[in-house]
Structure 1
Amino acid sequence: MPSTQVMVLTQSTPNFEVGTIDLAVIIGYLLLSRIIPLVVAGRAKKSNTKETSDTEDYFLGGRNFIWPFVGLSLVATNMSGATFVGLAGGAYDQGISIFAYEWMAAVVLAIFIFFILPFYLRSGVFTLPEFLEKRFDRRARMAFAGFNLFANMFIDMAAALFAGAIVIRTLYPDVPIWVAVAGLAILAAIYTVIGGLGAVMVSDSIQATVTIVGGLIVFIATWRAMPSWDAVYETAGDEKMSLILPPDNPDLPWPGLITGVLIIGLYYWTTNQLVVQRTLGARSLDHGRWGALLAGFIKLTFLFLFILPGVMALTLYQDLPSPDVVFPTLVFDLLPVGLRGLILAAVVAAITSTVDSILNSASTIVTMDFVKTMRPRTSDRGLVLTGRIATVVALVVAIVWAPFIAQFDTLYAYLQSVLSYLVPPVVAVFLMGIGWKRVTATAAFTTLVVLQPLGLVAFLLIEVQGLVELQFLYAAGIGFVTALLMLTVISAVGTTPDLEKTDELTWKTEYWREESRELRTTPVLANYRVLTGVMLASTVGLVVWFA
C-alpha cells in the first residue's frame, strides 16, 4: 500500500521510562496481590465443609475449587511474562501461525475433559506420578516423578524466571539479571510457601483476570491506531496472515500440528503435574471439566489479545531493533500514564503466576512422591512442613540456575524444541495406560527409562550438533510412534496385568453409556459435551477464517 496511508511510529530505540504514577500502580498491585490470596484462601479453608487432611488442604486446596478458579488458574499457569512479549514479538516476526499452540490447546483440553480427567479424579491421587503407580507400579511412578521434577526446575521455572528478568531489564537495564530473577521468585514464593495451592489458585485467578484485561486494552489501543484492516493485510502479507503454513516451513509446517504441536500439547495439558494439579483440586468432576472448558475458551481469545497486536505493529513500526520490544513499544507509545502501569503489573502478574504454580508443583512431587513413599509414617503436619521446605529449596535452585541460561543463548532457543524429544514417551504411557488395560507395568517403565534418555541424545545430536536436518515437530511424531510400538510389543509378550488393579483406571464403553443416561436430564448450559462441542466449533471457525 502507498506509504502515505500508513501511520508509522517508528523509533529505533524505544523509550521505556516508567513514571511515578505507573510505578505506584505496579507497587500497589503487587502488595494487594500478595495479601488477598492469603486472606481468601484462609477463609475458604475455614468454610470448607469437606473433611480433609492438612496435606489435602496445602497441596490440593482441600479439593474444593469451583470451576472459575480452576479455569482461570489453568490460564494463569500457562501464561508467563513471555506471553505478552513472546506472542506479540513472535507474531511480528513469524505471523499469526504461532496461534497454533493456542488453538490446539482447546483441542487437547477436549480430549482431557472426555477421556483423561475422569480417571485422574476417580483415582483420588495427589500427583500424576502417583497415578502411574496405581495404574502400573512404583517404578513408573519414580521414573516419571524424577522427570517431572527436572522439567519443572530446570526447564519450566528457570526459563520463566529468565524470560521475566529480560522483561524487567528492558525497563531497567541497570538491574543485574540475578537481582531481577531473585525478586520475581521471592514475590511468587511469599504466598506459595504460606498458603499452598489454595493461595496459588486465588492469586492465579486475579493474575489471569488482570492479564486478560491488559491484553484487551493493548488490542483496543493498537486497533484504534491502525489506518485500516486492509493495511494490516497488505503490510503483513498472505503468509503472515495465515494459520496454516506449507510442509516445508522451517518454523511451523502444517503436518507438524499433528506430529508435534498435538503431542506437546497433550503432555503439557494432560500429563504435566504443573497444570493438572489445578483440576485435581476441583470440587467435583463437573467443576474440573467446566474449569478446563473455561481455559479452552480463553486460550482462543489469545489470537486477539496478544497475537494480532503483534501483526498490526508491522504497520505501525517498521524498523524495531528486535521483535521482543514490540509489546513494550505498543504499551509505551499508545497507552496513557496509569494504564501503562496496569499493563506492566499484568506482565509481572503473569510471571509470578507461572513461578508460583511451578513451585507448588515441585514441592508436591518432592513431598508426596519421594518423601511420603520413602517415609510413609510421616504425619500430615510433617508433610506440609516438608512441602514448604521443598518450595524454598526449589526457589533457591531456580534463582541460581536461571541466570546461567543467559550464557547459553542457543540452548535457551532450543528449550522450545527440547520437549519434542523428551515428552512423546510420557504421552504414550498415559494414553495407552488409560486406553488399553493390557499395557503392563514393565512396558511403561521400560518405555520411560529407555526412550527419554534416547530422546535427550537425539536432541543433542540433531538440534545442538545439527548432524541431521529434522524439524523438531516431526521428531515428536517419530518419538510418539516409537513409544507406542515399544509399549505394544513389550505388553504383548509379557504377562497380563492384574485386571482388578486396572479395572477402574482404564477406559470402558460402559462409562460412556452410563454417563449418557445421566446427561439426559442435565441442563444444556451445564452439559460438558454440548459446551465442548461449542468450543471445538469455535476453534474450527477461527482456523478456517484465518487459514
Structure 2
Amino acid sequence: MAANISSVDLWIIGAYFLVVLAIGIGVGLKTRTDDDLFLGGRSLTWAFIGFSLFASNISSTTLIGLSGSAYSTGIAVSNYEWMAGVPLILMAAVFVPLYLKARITTVPEFLELRFDRRSRTVFSLITIFISIVVDTAGGLYAGAIVLKVFFPELVLWQTTLALAVFAGFYTAVGGLKAVVYTDTLQAVILIVGCSILTYLLFREMGFSWAVLQASVPPGHLSVIKPLDDPTLPWLGTLIGVPVLGFWYWVTNQYIVQRVLAAKNVSHARWGVMLGGFMKIIPLFIMVLPGAMAISVLPGIAARDMVFPTLVIELLPVGAVGIVLAGLISAIMSSVDSTLNSASTLIVVDFLKPRLGNATPKQIAGYGRIATFALMAVAAVWAPMIGNFGGLWNYLQQVFAIVVPPIAAIFLFGVFYPKGNGTGALVTLLLGTALGMVVFILARLEIWTIHFSINVGLMFAVSCVIFVIASRWGGRATAEQLQGLVYHPALLQPATPEAYRDYRYLAAGLLVAMFGVLVIFW
C-alpha cells in the first residue's frame, strides 16, 4: 500500500462505502415494483435530477481522460463538457415534454411510438452494447487503474470484479432511486475532492493566471484548436461535439432515465438546466488541473496516470481520503447508472412483452437478475480496454461508429414528420455499418480525418440516408404523429410564473457558455 494512505484516509473511504450501502439497502426496502426499480416511482424532483445527471456523467473515465488529455494536449478536451449545455437546452425545450407525455420507460420505446418495433429493437441492442462494453466497462477499468496507484498489489481483473459487485448490489436492490440518491452524494464528494486538488495546484503557482499561462506550451489554454490539431480541431468542435452531445444527453438511456423519472415536466426541465450549469464546472476543477500539472509534475509518461499521480504527490493526510472517495464515487455513479439502464432496456424492451401476466414484483425480480448478469459481463471485459491505446482513445473509437445514425433518426424523427420506420431502420443499420468501415480504415491509417470530424460527416450522411430511405414504406398520419413530433406549443413552460420559466435558465446557460468561449478562445 502506498505510504501516504493513512488510517484517516481509510476511515473516510470506509465511511463512504457504508453510507452508499445504507442508502441502497434503505431504498431497496421500499422498491417493490418494476416502476419503482426502473423509474423511482416517477417521483424525482429537479435537484436530484440535476445532481444525478452530473454525477452519472462525470465518471472516473471522465476524470482520468480529461486530466490526462489536458496534460498532454491542452484544455480543448473540455469542449465535450461545457458545450453540453447546447443539447441540454434542446432536451429541456423539446424532448422533455415529448418523452414525458408519451409515458415511456425506455428511450427506444419512443422510437417504436414514432416509427415501429424494428427501430426500437435495433436501437435498444446498440444502447445495451454501449452501456456495458463502453460505459460500465470503461468506468470499471478507470477505477481499477486509480485504485492500483494507491494499492499497487491489487490485480486489475480482481479489482474490476469487486467494484462491479459492490455497485451491482445496491443498484439491483434499490433501483433508480438508490442510484439517484447515491449520485447526489457522490456529486458533492466529487466536487469537493476535485476542488481541493485544484486549489493546491493553483497555490503552487502563486494563484497567478499569468504564471499558469507561462508554464504551459503555446495554445495549451485555448478551447479552439487549428484544423490539423490531433486532439480536437475547431471543425470537430463545430460539427462533431454537438452531435456527440445530442446523442449522450438526449437519447442515451442511462442519462435520460433520470428525466423520465421526474414528477412532472417542470421538475424535469429545471433538473436538466441544473445539469447544464454544473457541466461548466469540470473545466475548472478537472481539466485545468491537468494543464497545471505540466509545471508541477513534469514528465508523466502515461496520460491515464496524470490524475492519480497528482493525488499521490500533492494531497495531505485526510485530503487523500476525500479525493479517493470522490474517485470511487465517480466509479460508482457511472457503473450504477449504466447497469440500471441496461437492465431496464433488457426487461422492458425484450422480456416484458414476452412475460404475459407477470406481476410488477416479478418483473422487478427479472430486472435484478439482469443487473447482476450485466455486471458480470462488464467486469470480464473491463481489463481488455488497455489494449486500445488508452481510455480516451477507446471511447472515441466506439462513439464515432454508433453515434451519428442515432442522432440522425432522433433529430429528423422529431423535426421531419415525413420520416418513417423504413428510414429509421435503414439509417441505423447502414449508418452503423459505414461507421465501422471508417473505423477500420482509420485503424489501417488509410482514412486520417479526425474522429470528431468523422462524427459530423457521418451524421450528415446518416441524415441523407434517412430522408432517402423514408421514401419507401408508409407514412404516419397527422393523428398518429400527435405528441411525437415538434410543434411550437412544446416550448411553453408548464407553469405561468416567470421565475419558474426554464427559458430564462436556458438564456443564462447560453451566456455562461459564451463567456467560457470568450475567456478561453
| TM superposition score normalised by structure 2 | 0.96
Q: Give 2:78's aligned amino acid.
A: F
Residue matched to 2:132: 153
Residue matched to 1:29: 16
Residue matched to 2:117: 138
Which deviations, in whole Å up to 9, do the C-alpha atoms of 1:381-415 show, x marking residues without a partner?
Answer: 22111100000100111111112223454797343
Q: Give 2:49's aligned amino acid.
A: V
Which deviations, in whole Å up to 9, do the C-alpha atoms of 1:80-128 show, x marking residues without a partner?
Answer: 1133332222211111111100111111111111121211111000001
Residue matched to 2:305: 325
Distance 1:369 1:104 in 2: 31
Shift of 1:440: 0.8
Does residue 499 (structure 1) correspond to residue 473 (structure 2)? The answer is no
Out of 105, 108, 124, the position equivalent to 2:103 is 124
Residue matched to 2:372: 392
Residue matched to 1:259: 239
Change (3 A) 1:309 1:407: closer
Out of 496, 500, 522, the position equivalent to 2:497 is 522
Q: Give 2:497's aligned amino acid.
A: T
Q: Give 1:313's aligned amino acid.
A: A
Which deviations, in whole Å up to 9, do the C-alpha atoms of 1:279-320 show, x marking residues without a partner?
Answer: 000111111111111111111011111111121222222223
Q: State how 1:6-25 maps to structure 2 within 5 Å.
A: 17-25=4-12
Shift of 1:22: 1.0
SS of match in other structure, 2:176? helix
Distance 2:20 2:55 in 1: 14
Which deviations, in whole Å up to 9, do the C-alpha atoms of 1:498-537 show, x marking residues without a partner?
Answer: 332211111112444xx26x66x3132x210001100110
When the two chains are superposed, the root-mean-square deviation of aligned CA atoms in Å is: 1.9
Change (3 A) 1:397 1:324: closer
SS of match in other structure, 2:467? helix
Q: State how 1:312-351 maps to structure 2 within 5 Å.
A: 312-351=292-331
Distance 1:511 1:360 in 2: 29
Distance 2:316 2:246 in 1: 40
Q: Give 1:440's aligned amino acid.
A: N
Shift of 1:488: 1.2
Residue matched to 1:533: 507
Distance 1:254 1:234 in 2: 23
Distance 1:198 1:85 in 2: 27
Q: State how 1:320-469 maps to structure 2 within 5 Å.
A: 320-409=300-389, 413-462=393-442, 464-469=443-448
Shift of 1:42: 5.0
Distance 2:301 2:487 in 1: 56
Distance 1:483 1:332 in 2: 46
Q: Which moved more, 1:339-348 or 1:449-458?
A: 449-458
* Contact map agreement 1:56 1:62 (CA 8 A) in 2: yes
Q: State how 1:253-332 maps to structure 2 within 5 Å.
A: 253-332=233-312
Distance 2:387 2:289 in 1: 31
| TM superposition score normalised by structure 1 | 0.91
Q: Give 1:237's aligned amino acid.
A: P
Change (3 A) 1:427 1:94: same
Distance 1:177 1:414 in 2: 17
Distance 1:503 1:16 in 2: 63
Residue matched to 2:81: 102
Which structure has the bigger radius of gyration? 1
Residue matched to 2:91: 112
Does residue 174 (structure 1) correspond to residue 149 (structure 2)? The answer is no
Change (3 A) 1:349 1:16: farther
Distance 1:536 1:39 in 2: 39
Residue matched to 2:36: 57
Does residue 477 (structure 1) correspond to residue 430 (structure 2)? The answer is no
Which deviations, in whole Å up to 9, do the C-alpha atoms of 1:189-232 show, x marking residues without a partner?
Answer: 12111111111110111111110111111111222221332111
SS of match in other structure, 1:327? helix
Q: Which moved more, 1:103-112 or 1:487-496?
A: 487-496
Q: Which runs of 5+ in 1 are unaligned?
A: 1-13, 46-52
Change (3 A) 1:347 1:499: same
Out of 208, 218, 226, the position equivalent to 1:238 is 218
Q: Give 2:14's aligned amino acid.
A: I
SS of match in other structure, 1:237? coil
* Contact map agreement 1:76 1:205 (CA 8 A) in 2: yes
Q: Which moved more, 1:172-181 or 1:348-357?
A: 172-181
Distance 1:372 1:40 in 2: 24
Distance 2:490 2:65 in 1: 42
Change (3 A) 1:24 1:59: same
* Contact map agreement 2:243 2:455 (CA 8 A) in 1: yes
Residue matched to 2:166: 187
Shift of 1:246: 0.9
Distance 1:493 1:381 in 2: 42
Distance 1:33 1:352 in 2: 9
SS of match in other structure, 1:504? coil
- Percent identity for Structure 1 against Structure 2: 38
Distance 1:136 1:493 in 2: 13
Distance 2:472 2:379 in 1: 47
Q: Give 1:293's aligned amino acid.
A: M
* Contact map agreement 2:28 2:173 (CA 8 A) in 1: no
Change (3 A) 1:195 1:406: same
Q: Which runs of 5+ in 2 are unaligned?
A: none
Distance 1:310 1:79 in 2: 15
Shift of 1:41: 6.6
Which deviations, in whole Å up to 9, do the C-alpha atoms of 1:125-149 show, x marking residues without a partner?
Answer: 0001111111111111111111111
Distance 1:202 1:15 in 2: 32
Which deviations, in whole Å up to 9, do the C-alpha atoms of 1:4-33 show, x marking residues without a partner?
Answer: xxxxxxxxxx96642222112111211112
Shift of 1:360: 0.2
* Contact map agreement 2:24 2:171 (CA 8 A) in 1: no
Distance 1:248 1:234 in 2: 24
Q: Give 2:144's aligned amino acid.
A: A
